[in-house]
Structure 1
Amino acid sequence: MMMTLGRGQFSEVKRAFHIPTVSWVAVKILRNQKKYASLIKSEINIMKSLTHPNIIKLFHVVQTRETTYLVMEHASEGDLLHHILDLGHLEESKARRLFTQILHAVQYCHDNFIIHRDIKAQNILLDHKGNAKLCDFGLSAKVIPGQKLGDFCGTLPYCAPELFGKEAYDGRATDIWSLGVLLFFMVTGRFPFNAYSDVRVIQQILDANFRVPPYVSVDIRDVILKLLIKNPYRRLTIGQIMRHPMVRNSEAHSPYLLSHSLSQAP
């Protein structure tokens, strides 16, 4: 075990050196508290089921009486949040490339009936080649077709309006909203819903009250506006986003995405 990479509500992640494979790994350390037992079990089962180039890979699990260790792929360039904060915002060509990679990861999850429920810049890691890797499935849910969710979870600036209501909601649509917030943050360096109090932020979200700066390109603006729609049934689905010109053009000009698409073809 080496340096600490990050801390969560009931876990921390450390960089470690894996002697058998002579490689760096990330180890998520979870305390085995009874109230978190079902969350830990769910996270492990979901991560074991995922195999995708844009999702952090789980290598193995070590469980002791007091602690669970998730040994995972290490992304050496850190998380997208700090990358954006260091730069102020991303160049649009880079934002398009990374966002398209993230879309591939989320589409794979949704195709396998997994809702991430906490898509945010902190949960996007960058590997040594600068490619995006979706991580942290601690709040994720495995659903059956047509199943709706009822509990509130997520990170406030990324939360969809329906999360604050009393009715059950479509988890896929809340992931789509979070993707809209993420894209806005990537190209502007700030959040679309940003106020001095949580109450005001929630009101902005409920009203879908935001403005895309005029310097944002037309195609990126169009995607943001079609993702941050208050009515979840009017938001683009993941398949529709993948067919949007912004994404298609990004894939056409990216060697990584082109080779990935070919490798995924039947």
Structure 2
Amino acid sequence: MAGEGHHPERDAGRHHHHRHHHHHRSYSQARAILSRYGYQFPQYFKLGSGHYSKVYKVFDAEQTRHFAVKVTDLKKVTESFKTKFVPRERSIWRQLDHPNTVRMHKDFRKSGYLFEVLDYSEGGDLLSYLREHGPLDETTCRAWMRQVIDGVSYLHRNRIAHRDLKPENILLFEGGVLKITDYGFAKQCSDGDMSSTFCGTKNYKAPELLQKIGYDPFKADVWSFGVICFVMLTDRMPFRRDVSKAQMVEEQRNRQYRFPSHLTISLQCRGAIDTILTFDPEQRPSIFDVSNLPWFSGVVSESSGSSSDGSSASSMASMLESIARCVVEISDNVLFDCLHFLESCELHGREIVTDVPMHGARPGELPRMISHEARLIRALLIKIMD
């Protein structure tokens, strides 16, 4: 079963909130500089490290609060990283002012180091939370992911694509507030700009990045967000980690992810993730579309309409869901009949724009817009038939 047994793991390459043992030049000089700037170090001050940087917890006595200081050793970074990514990241950090994005309070260079003074997260990152507490229940997941949507929407409204969304880059603050961090790969883009830097973490990369074709960075962020939702709900990766990129793309194309059977996850939630993990980026929703999906918006769809027997879309959804959950063994032919019946119905929901043609359509092909109920029922039936 795709994804089963494949727990999400921390990316060892760039994460700055987990300790790795790299033998860089001593950072004692950097700590001495911070002390001269008035920052005090508590007993346990090391928050983590990456290839080129370390993150320290410091106390600012003047402001009577803790900060996280990211210290980058500019002598260790590549020239392109120093001239391209560092200035870009600093520029983006300085613009950010939103409840769901980590704020940079100060940045300065000294003695070959770059210091960035950031919000300190009491709760650590989401992957650490997952390791300690296990998967989120649906209510908590919806509330937390709604905050991530708000943060990503803020970035996208300001034409900033993050390009490395993953649980490690979402921090948990007091009161259950989530904030997006790490803008090392973020980029300010104009409308219609396609990216050709295939950055990010393999498990969270959209198929178009794995295929190394020019991509819409905003739609790629949406895919990564969908994977995060799946991971936080299941404590599983949706697609196998230990396969080649080409194999992963095929799993993505064929939607080879399964929700663990021991978890109770609503049809509406599954449908939302199914919609987000749309292989074709042109048909994948924007983050603004995602925020309007019923599971995230909390709106119960009130679609009404008629089918060939006069039943409403919602009552048919209920009927088919009940059948699917109650019947243990059922022939593929009956399920296909259900699916054909569903797709030939004229469902009038708030999203539907056309009748759904059955004959002549390629297997698995759906019209670009289809009612939410139809998506949910179709996803359920297909999973049963597998």
TM-score if structure 2 supplies the norm length? Answer: 0.62
Inter-CA distance 165–197: structure 2 relative to 1 (3 Å threshold): closer
Candidates 287, 298, 310, aligned match of 1:238 = 287
Bigger shift: residues 112-121 or 210-219: 210-219
Secondary structure, counterpart of 1:232 in structure 2: coil
Distance in 2 between residues matched to 1:17 and 1:155, nearest whole Å:
32
Instruction: Write out per-residue CA displacement over residues 23-60 of structure 1, whole angstroms, 9 at most, x where no aligned residue.
Output: 10000111113332121111110010010001111000
Q: Which residue of 2 aligns with 1:131?
A: 177
* Residues 1:26 and 2:63 are matched in the alignment: no
Q: Which residue of 1 aligns with 2:16?
A: none
Distance in 2 between residues matched to 1:224 and 1:130, nearest whole Å:
22
Q: Percent identity?
A: 30
Instruction: Write out per-residue CA displacement over residues 195-223 of structure 1, whole angstroms, 9 at most, x where no aligned residue.
Output: 43444545534544222345321121111
Q: Please state how far the C-alpha of 1:13 moved relative to its aligned partner.
A: 1.3
Q: Which residue of 1 aligns with 2:48?
A: 6
Instruction: Write out per-residue CA displacement over residues 151-177 of structure 1, whole angstroms, 9 at most, x where no aligned residue.
Output: 111011100000022431100010000
Distance in 2 between residues matched to 1:42 and 1:178, nearest whole Å:
21
Secondary structure, counterpart of 2:298 in structure 1: helix
Q: Which residue of 2 aligns with 1:211?
A: 258
Q: Which residue of 2 aligns with 1:183?
A: 229
Distance in 2 between residues matched to 1:101 and 1:77, nearest whole Å:
15
CA-based RMSD? 1.7
Q: Please, which runs of 5 or more residues in structure 2 have no aligned partner?
A: 1-40, 300-386
Distance in 2 between residues matched to 1:206 and 1:27, nearest whole Å:
41
Inter-CA distance 62–146: structure 2 relative to 1 (3 Å threshold): same
Q: Please state how far the C-alpha of 1:185 moved relative to its aligned partner.
A: 0.4
Q: Which has a greater percent of helix?
A: 1
Q: Which residue of 1 aligns with 2:81?
A: 36
Q: Which residue of 2 aligns with 1:229?
A: 278
Distance in 2 between residues matched to 1:7 and 1:142, nearest whole Å:
26
Q: How does 1:146-165 map to 2 (within 5 A)?
A: 146-165=192-211
Distance in 2 between residues matched to 1:248 and 1:182, nearest whole Å:
18
- Which amino acid counterpart does residue 50 of structure 2 have in structure 1? G
Q: Which residue of 2 aligns with 1:110?
A: 156
Secondary structure, counterpart of 1:234 in structure 2: coil
Bigger shift: residues 208-217 or 3-12: 208-217
Distance in 2 between residues matched to 1:213 and 1:229, nearest whole Å:
20
Q: Please, which runs of 5 or more residues in structure 1 have no aligned partner?
A: 251-266
Distance in 1 between residues matched to 2:69 and 2:157, nearest whole Å:
27
Secondary structure, counterpart of 1:54 in structure 2: coil
Select the structure of larger CA radius of gyration.
Answer: 2
- Which amino acid counterpart does residue 87 of structure 1 have in structure 2? H
Equivalent residues, number? 250
Candidates 4, 12, 17, aligned match of 2:59 = 17
- Which amino acid counterpart does residue 10 of structure 1 have in structure 2? Y
Distance in 1 between residues matched to 2:173 and 2:107, nearest whole Å:
22
TM-score if structure 1 supplies the norm length? Answer: 0.89
